[in-house]
Amino acid sequence: MMKQVGSHRLIFWLTFIPPTLWLLIFLLIPLSIIGSFSFSEKRGLIDIELSWILNNYIRAADLIYLSTLIKSIGVAGITTVICFLFGFPLALGIASAPPRWKSILLIAVILPFCVNLLIRTYALIAVFRTRGFFNFGLEWFADLINVPFEPLSLLYNDTAVILGLVYVHLPFMVLPLYAGFEGFNKTLLEAALDLGASKLELLTSIIIPIITPSIISGCILVFIPALGSYLTPELLGGPNSQMIANVIERQFMNANDWPFGSALSMVLVYLTFGILALRYLCFNNLYLDKNKRRL
Amino acid sequence: MKLFPGGHLSRRRFLAGTGAVAAGLSLISRQAWCDETPKLNFYNWDTYIGETTLKDFKVASGINVKMDLFADNDELFAKLKVGNPGYDLIVPSSDYVERMILADMLMPLNDDMIPNRFNIQESFFDASFDPGRKYSLPYMWGTMGIGYRKSKMNSTPDSWKWLFDSDRYKGRCALLSEASDVLGAAFKYMGYSLNTKDPKIIKEAEKLLIKQKPNIKVFAPDNGQDLLLSGEVDITMEWNGDILQVMEEDPDISYIVPKEGSAVWEDALAIPKGAPHPENAHRFINFILEPSVGAKIADFIQYATPNKAAKQLMPESYSKNPAIYPSNETLSSCESSFYLGADVVRLYDEAWSRVLSA
């Protein structure tokens, strides 16, 4: 049937044009505008002149901005690792659940998406602040066992930012992993058990190598948005928690320096493309057809 | 149901139909002296207008006001920078009026359409950021200072020292999050002008802030008063109006302008270039400057009004409130903030980036 669709010219173009137009209008054109801004300079308060200079990129290599970028990479990396540590068992659990429970558990993972990101982040503030629900719970527990209680300072520091980022990005890790598990051939496990593999060997020698493409997809789906996240460090972060997106926002607003903000944004875009290119070069053979895969 | 009784829609019937519609439209009475549609697009801060002002204006003039909100001056400037998206009246702060005049983004006001402007206090008739008040008229003014919880303070925090140079309130203090606001207050603390341009002094302020950073809990963008109310912090740098709002809810909270001096701000009404309904905008400005209307607005939002006729109508609890109308002595130590030019803005921003990443 696919062959029929492919060979029918009209259907091909009809299905090809809308997503291409979408990509063009909402991604490529805005990105090229920002890209051209990054090579421009300010003229007065509102004008921007395209003069093809590299000043903005040279300024972006300054230590303050580079250190913020490296810190953002670090925070995004920690978020990805924590998401993986929580997401892997969660996805495995959902995939192994009886069919009745599978859909309920999946909905439980996806349901937070229905609530706006801003509202979810404010909810976290209400939970973690000094007079928030988490501390109320601990206080009740401490009263119960008669222990003096000092409220925990869970908000306005790096911990809060990472917690917030994990909370927001966990579904992005769980869903690709779950999809990978669903397509997994369970008879391989049975064969391995028959041949005397231990549970740990099952995990390391069978499951993880086959699931690797899903793991990589999940990691990228978490890392890249976390790297560019703005709202979570802005609302939950303390004086030390600024990330690269907060710096970029200041350039477009307070500092009124759109060319420099564009250069910083393009650095993030190049980084993203770099990561995707890296995945293609190193791991592409994993996505190829089984027959062509080099083992 | 048959839409066209008698058959299909012929060209003749279509032309007849449109002719009838056009004739009908021309019969709708239009006010002879108003060639604009009775609408106004107002771009304003949140909770910055009287409770019934917009409705009262509709009753008085028949003009429907649609109000959009912005969160800070930068958002207003960024939105209008690339072209007016259709706003008739905006409320920038004084230094942003200055920027907009420099960037030729404002329409000069037609004084003949605003006779009520003589209700404004004389000291506001001229301003360094808008000489001769050609482009703007004052709306509200106030101060920046310290909001604090009385029961948690060792003594009245009448100095910036407790926020910038001391660990007495470690982990319980908050600052604003705008570079120019915090650096300006730091300059005042160190004894310099609010509008310092000298890179050496900016560096000094940067070092002071980096030293103080471990004691600061958070840089609060606009919710310092909420943090104060919820007990997250006990002392914060904030605008007087914000603190006044929570003072109503919690009498334990108070406000003071530090003795080293602070910023005095003014928000002004202005008409951006490309406004679709400039006449209606003028009419609205004139309406706001009426004493009774100004008094109602001031009563609701509790900021200091520059309208002396409106102030006379207000009760003493308002006009004698030192948090709203600071004493002349306090005012003499306060300064307005000016636009210092792109280079200084960049210096402030880089200093602020260094403070935040330290």
- In this predicted model, what pLDDT tens digit does every residue of B150-189 receive, in sequence order? 999 999 999 999 999 988 999 899 999 889 999 999 999 9
Q: Which CATH number fits domain A63-288: 1.10.3720.10, 3.20.20.70, 1.10.10.10, 3.40.50.880?
A: 1.10.3720.10
Instruction: Kindly report, residue by residue over B58-74, the tens digit of the pLDDT.
Output: 999 999 999 999 988 99
Is the pLDDT at B36 greater than 90? The verdict is no
For residues B149 and B162, give the distance between their C-alpha atoms in angstroms, rounded to a whole number.
13
For residue range A54-85, list pLDDT tens digits in order: 999 999 999 999 999 999 999 999 999 999 99
Just give the CATH number of B39-141+265-325. 3.40.190.10
Residue type (1 letter), B190: M
Q: 3-class SS at A211? A: helix
What percent of chain A has a predicted confidence (pLDDT) above 70?
94
CA of A202 vs chain B CAs: smallest distance (Å): 45
Chain B residue numbers with beta carbons less than 8 Å from the beta carbon of A130 are 230-232
pLDDT tens figures, A102-141: 999 999 998 988 899 999 999 999 999 888 888 888 888 8
A-B Cβ pairs (cutoff 8 Å, strict):
77
| B77 vs A: CB within 8 A | yes
Tell me if B108 sits within 8 A of B100, measured CB to CB.
no
Report CA torsion sign: A263, A266, A268, A270: negative
pTM: 0.83
The interface pTM score, or ipTM, of the predicted complex is 0.82
Count of residues for chain A? 295
List strand residue ranges (DSSP E) for chain B, in order. Answer: 39-45, 64-70, 89-90, 106-107, 136-149, 173-176, 216-220, 235-239, 253-256, 264-272
Pick B78's closest partner by Cβ from A44, A239, A253: A253
CATH number (3.90.550.10, 3.40.190.10, 3.40.50.300, 3.40.30.10) of B142-264+334-357 reads 3.40.190.10
CB contacts of B272 in chain A (<8 Å) are none
Q: Label residue B138 by pLDDT band (50, 70, 90).
A: very high
**Cα–Cα distances in angstroms (integers) from residue B329 to residues A270, B283, B333, in the given order:** 56, 37, 7
> Which one of B99, B219, B349 has the shortest CB-CB distance to A45?
B99
- Per-residue pLDDT of A81-101, as tens digits, reads 999 999 999 999 999 899 899
Q: What residue has token string 């769980």?
A: A174
Q: Which of B325, B180, B154 is nearest to B235 (CA)?
A: B154
d(CA B184, CA B180): 6
Which residues in chain A have their CB less than 8 angstroms from residue B345's CB?
255-256
B74: closest CA among B96, B89, B91?
Answer: B96
B89 vs B60: CA distance, rounded Å: 18
Single-letter code of the amino acid located at B64:
N
Half-sphere exposure of B97 (CA within 13 A, CB side): 29
Mean pLDDT of A38-54: 87
Q: Where are the alpha helices (DSSP H) in B71-175?
A: 73-81, 94-102, 161-164
Q: Is some CB atom of chain A closer than 8 A to the CB atom of B81?
A: yes
- Residue A26 carries which DSSP code? I
Report the pLDDT averaged over residues A11-39: 92
Cβ proximity of B336 and B265 under 8 Å: yes
Amino acid at B162: W
Query: Are B119 and B294 contacting, i.e. CB atoms less than 8 angstroms apart?
Result: yes
DSSP B130: B
Choose among B92, B109, B137: nearest CA to B288: B137
Q: Radius of gyration over alpha carbons of chain B, in Å?
A: 25
Helix (H, G, I), strand (E, B) or coil at B174: strand
**Which pLDDT belongs to residue A204?**
85
Q: Which two tokens stand for residue B188?
A: 């005042």
The secondary structure of residue A39, as a DSSP letter, is T
Q: Please, what is the average pLDDT of chain B?
A: 88
Distance from C-alpha of B29 to C-alpha of B288, rounded to nearest angstrom: 28
Which pair of structure tokens corresponds to residue B45?
A: 């801060």
pLDDT of B282 strictly over 70: yes
Where in chain B are the domains? 39-141+265-325, 142-264+334-357
Residues 6+ apart with CB under 8 A from B118: none
Check CB contact of B171 with chain A, cutoff 8 Å.
yes
Phi, psi of B45, deg, nearest 5? -70, 165
